[in-house]
């Protein structure tokens, strides 16, 4: 056991802080003071958690491939369910993303959230706790609890602090993800009944037979595909983003979408290798469809948030493409793409939030010529836009390229189609930027908006630095990710990579071997 138990601290600290925030009270008439105290306390709490996150990051040993900071206590002894926590190179970065984005979310809501501030902050702190829990849990039931619990604060954030159609959006969000959850639980219980444990490392070590794998895989797939989201179960995302408050969108795009990819990497791939190989072509084609389809849809959007939401689906397509290539570059690329997308999409939603706070519309045509009155905003938006397009030198490029490189080794045709995404991606982002930032100042009210204030600068500046730093020195991330992903790749190495890659490369993965038992 480690001391201090940082992972538990990171899970429970936000919860404790949330309770403290709940207890902040004041006399009638002191609402302003209460609100101020609540904000400061929440910010301080999230920064405190961030400090623990940095501590964990600093002490993470990249040379060890096993799980680190492990905590393992009996929890529900009768069922053999343990309170088992630990992180590897993959989960480390998702935890970092969670602890990094939460203070940004709180700051982003500093002035824009006006009603029920206390409850809002509580929701975010609880959300942070659950997000971290999801990524550090090493027991499948514990994971499931956190994975599902995340929905509750998010549902509330959209449903209470959202826009006009917030109720529709939050129900849609809930319906989709709940549907996935039921199947996920079913899959987990099946594995439990077969292997006799809910412990993730043990489940990885003892794969079930190939026939059963496929059913479990499908159950997992529905759940994770909804979370990603993959085409065609993506339609909840645009609505959820459009209606969510800015910070809600940030955390939704920044962290929640990554749970699907994380699920594939933690459950589907290592636990169900045969089924994963069997279904890989399906996933890759769905990814390609997602990339092209949603890019084209993004091209015609009139709503800024909807456009970025659709672009998220396209970017997540690269993630699933990389994951199901089963190559080192593909997996590294997928993880990197998720981290990078977490930063970039968060930043883009913040950029939308900046102008939304001023003009209270997301309609692209209501803006234009912002470069004249908001030069700093224009510059930062430009950097994020180019990062989203995947410009080399920004983090967006590394993930996209590595994923495609992995996919190319698995299936050239799919990689070729997927690469067209770089053209479409440029098309819709440039069009958005041009219509919002360039051009004549057609709208009087848009022309009078003020440039970034100090809070907005403080939020966006670290993201700018991160986007460029990760693009120029991606190895700081990759050196920790690679040991973890290579564990997964190792399982697949003798299964699917042809002996002579040049000679047999059309990438159709043979799977006919072990599905005789399934059909009946």
Partner 1 sequence: MELLAVFSPLFAFLIAILFGKQIGDKGVQFITCAAVIIAAFASVVLFFNVILTPNMVDGAYVTVLTSWISSGGFDVEWALRIDQLSVVMMCVVNIVSACVHIYSVGYMSHDPHKARFMAYLSLFTFAMLMLVTANNLLQLFFGWEGVGVASYLLIGFWNHKHSANAAAQKAFIVNRVGDFGLALGIMAVFFVFGTIDFTQIFSNAEQYSQKTINFLGYEYHALTVICLLLFVGAVGKSAQLGLHTWLPDAMEGPTPVSALIHAATMVTAGVFLVARFSPLFEYAPTASMVVTVFGATTAFVAATIGMTQFDIKRVIAYSTMSQLGYMFFALGVSAYSAAIFHLMTHAFFKALLFLGAGSVIHAMSDEQDMRNMGGIWKKIPFTYAMMWIGSLALAGVWPFAGYFSKDIVLEAAWADHSWFGSYAYWMGIAAALMTAFYSWRLIIMTFHGKPRASEDVISHVHESPSIMIMPLVVLSLGAIFSGSLFYGGFVGSSSVDHGVDHAKAIVDAGVKHGNINIDDNIDISEKSGIHKREETMVNLWSKEYFWHEAIYVLPENDTVDAAHSAPFWVKKLPLAVGLLGIFLAYIVYMVKPGTSLIIVSVFKPLHILFFNKWFFDSIYNYIFVRNSFTLGHAFSRSDKNLIDKIGPDGIAGFSERFSGNLSKFQTGYVYQYALVMIIALISIVSWFVFKADPSFYMPDDMLLDVELPSHVNSNIGGGSL
| Binders in 404-443 for partner 1, by CB under 8 A | 404-405, 408-409, 412-413, 415-416, 419-420, 422-424, 426-427, 430-431, 434, 437-440
Site string for partner 1, 59-78 (x = CB under 8 A): --------------------
Q: How many CB atoms lie within 10 A of CB 475?
A: 12
Contact 317, 418 (CB under 8 A): yes
Q: Does 373 bind partner 1 (CB under 8 A)?
A: no
Residue 111 DSSP class: T
What is the spatial distance between Cα 106 and Cα 39, in angstroms, rounded to a whole number? 8
Q: Does 286 bind partner 1 (CB under 8 A)?
A: no
Choice from 134, 249, 287, 329 touching partner 1 (CB under 8 A): 329
Closest separation between CB of residue 193 and partner 1, Å? 4
Choice from 167, 392, 510, 513 touching partner 1 (CB under 8 A): 392
Q: Is the CB of 44 or the CB of 473 nearer to partner 1?
A: 473
SS3 track for 487-504: HHHHHHHHHHCCCCCCCC
Choice from 5, 211, 281, 462 touching partner 1 (CB under 8 A): 211
Closest separation between CB of residue 245 and partner 1, Å? 22
What is the spatial distance between Cα 461 and Cα 459, in angstroms, rounded to a whole number? 6
Choice from 111, 448, 504, 513 touching partner 1 (CB under 8 A): 504
Residue 3 DSSP class: S
Site string for partner 1, 291-310 (x = CB under 8 A): --xx-xxxxxx---------
Closest separation between CB of residue 502 and partner 1, Å? 5
Q: Does 175 bind partner 1 (CB under 8 A)?
A: yes
Residue indicated by tokens 């693009």: 471
Closest separation between CB of residue 404 and partner 1, Å? 6
> 359 in helix, strand or coil?
helix
Q: Is the CB of 145 or the CB of 186 nearer to partner 1?
A: 186
Where do runs of H (alpha helix) occur along 137-209? 140-149, 151-161, 166-195, 200-205
Q: Is the CB of 135 or the CB of 192 nearer to partner 1?
A: 192
Please identify, among the stretches 95-103, 151-159, 322-330, 340-348, the one whose residues bind partner 1 according to the rule CB under 8 A: 322-330
Q: Does 474 bind partner 1 (CB under 8 A)?
A: yes
Q: Is the CB of 106 or the CB of 383 nearer to partner 1?
A: 383
Residue 25 DSSP class: -
Closest separation between CB of residue 327 and partner 1, Å? 7
- H/E stretch holding 87: strand 81-87
Q: Is the CB of 145 or the CB of 431 nearer to partner 1?
A: 431
Closest separation between CB of residue 442 and partner 1, Å? 11
**Binders of partner 1: how many residues, by CB under 8 A?**
79
Q: In angstroms, what is the C-alpha Rg of the chain?
A: 22
Residue 43, C-beta contacts closer than 8 angstroms, at least 6 positions apart: 103, 106, 107
Contact 17, 41 (CB under 8 A): yes
Token pair of 83 as six digits: 């309170």
Give the CA diameter of the chain. 78
Where do runs of H (alpha helix) occur along 200-327? 200-205, 210-227, 236-243, 246-251, 258-263, 269-271, 273-299, 304-323
Q: How many CB atoms lie within 10 A of CB 74?
A: 11
Closest separation between CB of residue 196 and partner 1, Å? 12
Choice from 41, 398, 436, 464 touching partner 1 (CB under 8 A): 398
Which positions from 225 through 244 interact with partner 1, judged by CB under 8 A? 232-233, 235-236, 238
């Amino acid at each position: 056991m480690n001391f201090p138990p940082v992972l538990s601290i990171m899970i429970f600290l936000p919860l404790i802080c949330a309770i403290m925030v709940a207890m902040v009270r004041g006399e009638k008439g002191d609402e302003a003071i209460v609100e101020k105290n609540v904000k400061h306390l929440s910010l301080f709490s999230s920064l405190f958690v961030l400090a623990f996150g940095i501590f964990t990051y600093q002490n993470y040993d990249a040379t060890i491939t096993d799980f680190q900071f492990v905590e393992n206590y009996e929890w529900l002894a009768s069922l053999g369910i343990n309170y088992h926590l630990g992180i590897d190179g993959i989960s480390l970065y998702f935890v970092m993303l969670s602890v990094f984005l939460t203070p940004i979310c709180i700051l982003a809501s500093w002035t824009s959230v006006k009603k029920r501030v206390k409850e809002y902050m509580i929701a975010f702190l609880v959300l942070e706790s659950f997000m971290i829990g999801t990524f550090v849990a090493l027991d499948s039931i514990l994971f499931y609890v956190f994975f599902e619990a995340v929905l509750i604060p998010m549902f509330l954030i959209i449903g209470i602090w959202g826009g006009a159609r917030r109720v529709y959006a939050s129900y849609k969000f809930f319906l989709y993800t709940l549907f996935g959850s039921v199947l996920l639980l079913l899959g987990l219980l099946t594995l439990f009944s077969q292997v006799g444990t809910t412990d993730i490392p043990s489940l990885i070590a003892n794969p079930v037979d190939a026939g059963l794998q496929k059913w479990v895989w499908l159950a997992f797939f529905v759940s994770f595909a909804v979370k990603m989201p993959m085409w065609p179960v993506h339609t909840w995302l645009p609505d959820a983003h459009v209606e969510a408050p800015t910070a809600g969108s940030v955390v939704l795009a920044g962290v929640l979408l990554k749970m699907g990819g994380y699920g594939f990497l933690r459950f589907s791939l290592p636990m169900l290798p045969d089924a994963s190989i069997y279904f890989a072509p399906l996933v890759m084609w769905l990814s390609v469809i997602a990339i092209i389809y949603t890019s084209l849809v993004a091209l015609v959007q009139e709503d800024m948030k909807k456009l970025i939401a659709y672009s998220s689906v396209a970017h997540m397509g690269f993630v699933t493409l990389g994951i199901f290539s089963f190559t080192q570059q593909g997996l590294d690329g997928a993880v990197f793409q998720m981290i990078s997308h977490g930063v970039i999409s968060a930043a883009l939603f913040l950029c939308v939030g900046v102008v939304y706070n001023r003009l209270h519309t997301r309609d692209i045509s209501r803006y234009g010529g912002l470069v004249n009155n908001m030069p700093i905003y224009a510059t930062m938006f430009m950097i994020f836009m180019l990062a989203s397009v995947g410009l080399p030198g920004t983090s967006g490029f590394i993930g996209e390229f590595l994923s495609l490189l992995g996919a190319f080794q698995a299936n050239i045709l799919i990689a070729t189609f997927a690469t067209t995404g770089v053209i479409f991606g440029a098309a819709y982002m440039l069009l958005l930027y041009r219509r919002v930032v360039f051009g004549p100042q057609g709208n009087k009210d848009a022309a009078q908006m003020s440039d970034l204030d100090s809070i907005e600068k403080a939020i966006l500046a670290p993201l700018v630095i991160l986007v460029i730093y990760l693009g120029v020195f991606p190895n700081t991330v990759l050196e920790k990710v690679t040991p973890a992903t290579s564990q997964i790749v190792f399982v697949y190495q003798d299964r699917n990579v042809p002996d002579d890659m040049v000679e047999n490369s059309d990438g159709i993965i043979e799977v006919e071997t072990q599905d005789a038992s399934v059909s009946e």
